[in-house]
Amino acid sequence: MAKNEEAGCSFRTSIGGQAILEGILMRGPEKTAIVVRKEDGTFAVKESPNQQIKDKYPVLGWPIIRGTVNFIESMVTGVKAINYSSEQLLSGEEAEKDKLDLWLEKKLGSEKATKVATAVAVVLAVLLSVGLFILLPTFLVGLLGGVIKSALLLNLCEGVLRIIIFLTYIWLCSRLKDIKRVWMYHGAEHKTIHCYEKGLPLTVENCREQKRNHPRCGTSFMFIVMIISILVFALVRWRSALVRMALRLVLLSVVVGISYELIKLAGRHDNWFTRAISAPGRWLQGITTAEPDDSMLEVAIKALELVIPEQQGSDAW
């Protein structure tokens, strides 16, 4: 990859990550790795094969369809990673399981109990996201149905309100102390991937010099979802709030699918169009990422090294 950089080429990897509690989750084409910095300064590491449902059902890897599938898979993997990091950071009495966990393990067994807990967490996260960012704006703007006569204007107001709620949510999260450290690990993840894509040795010094925003960031993806929802939902001209909310749910997979294809395009190419569609998300990453310290970069480097495939270039985006 160093040769690519010298030739002026830009290698773009398919490897992506997620910041978790005091650690990093990295997903490569073959493996997934979680690295957490424990209280004593050592690493807790968990590796697993990167098995995707599209490998078993190829139709789920088709354009548009794969957006929703990958989104759900990412949420499941992310919840598991957060649970793992929490377990590594708690010790003694703090790590003791509550009565519900013990009951589930007794009834279902340890493995099935973990799967149930993960499924419940993912469902709750999806319901919260859909309710807060999709249905709530539709409901609130629907209260203005007697005042605003134009369906197009209703859709526009709803889209603006959706973006305001999303930005407010991000801002409120940024005020939490623990989240600020997650933002720092988020920055470490991006810097490390930039370093790898430039073909530089993965050292703290090299990673430190990289940018902390990235076009394939999940923050950028969510902002693109907000924008695309305005365009797609504008096709719905019904004035009834209940009908509009139902159709929002039906069209949500289309919105996510289109947004995913756009974020893939932005991650693969660098031109005026991709820079334009990724610009708002890059700006927002100024909030959702922060400058990491060297210990965080060490965690990100360790996680990335674990998922780099043996065959050079097989992780090309």
pLDDT single digits (tens) 37-46: 999 999 999 9
CB 190 within 8 A of CB 213: yes
pLDDT digits (tens, 9 = 90+) for 162-180: 999 999 999 999 888 889 9
pLDDT in tens, 208-265: 999 999 988 988 999 999 999 999 998 877 778 888 899 999 999 999 999 999 998 9
- Domain-embedded: residue 206: yes
For residue 235, give the nearest of 257, 255, 259 by alpha carbon: 255
Per-residue pLDDT, 286: 92
Residue 55 located in a structural domain: yes
pLDDT band at 207 (very low <50, low <70, confident <90, very high): very high
Q: How many Cβ atoms sit within 10 Å of the Cβ of residue 247?
A: 16
> What pLDDT does residue 236 have?
79
Residue 138 lies in a domain: yes
Q: How many domains does the chain have?
A: 1
63 within a domain of the structure (yes/no): yes
CA angle 253, 258, 261 (to 5 degrees): 125
Contacts of 150 (CB under 8 A, 6+ apart): none
Q: How far apart are CA 158 and CA 168, in angstroms?
A: 15
Stated length of the chain: 317
Predicted pLDDT of residue 234: 86
Residue 313 domain-assigned? no
In-domain check, residue 288: yes
Q: Which two tokens stand for residue 234?
A: 């504008």
Q: What does 221-256 look like in DSSP terms, one character per residue?
A: HHHHHHHHHHHHHTT-----HHHHHHHHHHHHHHHH
Average pLDDT over residues 75-101: 74
Whether 208 is covered by a domain: the verdict is yes
Which pair of structure tokens corresponds to residue 313? 């270039």
Quote helix, strand, coil % in the chain, to nearest 5.
Answer: 65, 10, 25
Residue 310 lies in a domain: no
Q: Summarize the confidence of residues 199-203 as an average pLDDT.
A: 96
Range of the domain at 18: 2-303
